[in-house]
Structure 1
Amino acid sequence: MTDEYLYSGTASDFLGKDTAFTRSLGPTQDHHYIRTDISEHYWLNGAKFIGTFPIPDTYNPDDDKIYFFFRESSQESSTSDKTILSRVGRVCKNDIGGQRSLINKWTTFLKARLICSIPGSDGADTHFDELQDIYLLPTRDERNPIVYGVFTTTR
């Protein structure tokens, strides 16, 4: 819950394959239900959500962002293996959705890969691709918390 709004990451279908990041339960009509696009795997692909945190970008509350940490199946892999990648996503807290094709959908949605690895001396890397937990340690500057993540590897 942030400013009386519920931000959540969950499966939105019976089989648990269509995952979505949503905002609901607002106190006013200004911020209605909003979600990631349905069945568009470049938005989210079988995401397993780990944590969600509001983090201000500037001293202006209109610039505040909601960051969510998750892992998902990779669309980038050229093999048939389902590679799991850890991600961080971000939306603007004041996003109200689009006017045409993005009605009730995030217009500020961004995601990036989190990489945790140990380079090997022989050139082989050990990658910890599966984010298991996340913790934000507040600092004196609320815009710059320290982020701790716990990762595992499947190899």
Structure 2
Amino acid sequence: IFRSLGRRPSIRTEQHDSRWLNEPKFVGSFWVPESENPDDDKIFFFFRETAVEAQGLGKSTYSRIGQLCRNDMGGQRSLVNKWTTFLKTRLICSVPGADGSDTYFDELRDAFLLQTRDRKNPLV
């Protein structure tokens, strides 16, 4: 994930480090306001990738959601020109309740953001 803003230094995920991204296939991205302050805005990425946590179990593909703060400028001493707010997790749909089960949709092909009256709470 790469961003260049004119004269500012570019910022990116770490290259060739499978802990950041491992053979990602991007499906979509969305800019979502978090509050009235634009500095709080987030960017969400939907993608599939080869799961490093499943190594040893064969090659597994997981669907993921990633998040960045829109105003991330990278680190001052460490993570210089790298995202400091990058987070990712596996997409899991769960059935509510004590005996609920997890459902995995690991062949994510599309994502859609449905705007609601409250821009800060869209439906994905």
TM-score above 0.5: yes
RMSD: 2.0
Kindly provide the amino acid, as one letter, of the partner of residue 28 in structure 2: G
Native 8 Å contact 2:44 2:67 kept in 1? yes
The C-alpha deviation readout for 1:116-145, integer Å capped at 9, x for no partner, is 478xxxxx9864311100110100011111
Runs of 4+ aligned residues of structure 1 deviating over 4 Å after TM superposition are none
Report how many aligned residue pairs link the two structures. 119
Kindly provide the amino acid, as one letter, of the partner of residue 23 in structure 1: R
Native 8 Å contact 1:117 1:128 kept in 2? no
How far 1:78 sits from its partner (Å)?
Answer: 4.6
| TM-score calculated relative to the size of structure 1 | 0.69
**Which residue of 49, 53, 57 maps to 2:30?**
53
Report percent identity of matched pairs.
Answer: 56
Q: Does 1:112 align with 2:89?
A: yes
| TM-score calculated relative to the size of structure 2 | 0.85
Q: Which has the higher strand share?
A: 1
Residues of 2 paired with 1:105 and 1:125: CA distance? Answer: 33
Secondary structure in 1 aligned to 2:58? Answer: coil
Q: Which runs of 5+ in 2 are unaligned?
A: 96-100
How far 1:100 sits from its partner (Å)?
Answer: 2.5
Over 3 Å counting, the alpha-carbon distance change for 1:54 and 1:126 in structure 2 is closer
How far 1:38 sits from its partner (Å)?
Answer: 1.4
Q: Which runs of 5+ in 1 are unaligned?
A: 1-20, 119-123, 148-155
Kindly provide the amino acid, as one letter, of the partner of residue 74 in structure 1: A
The C-alpha deviation readout for 1:70-102, integer Å capped at 9, x for no partner, is 110011115341100010101111111112231
Q: Does 1:129 align with 2:106?
A: yes
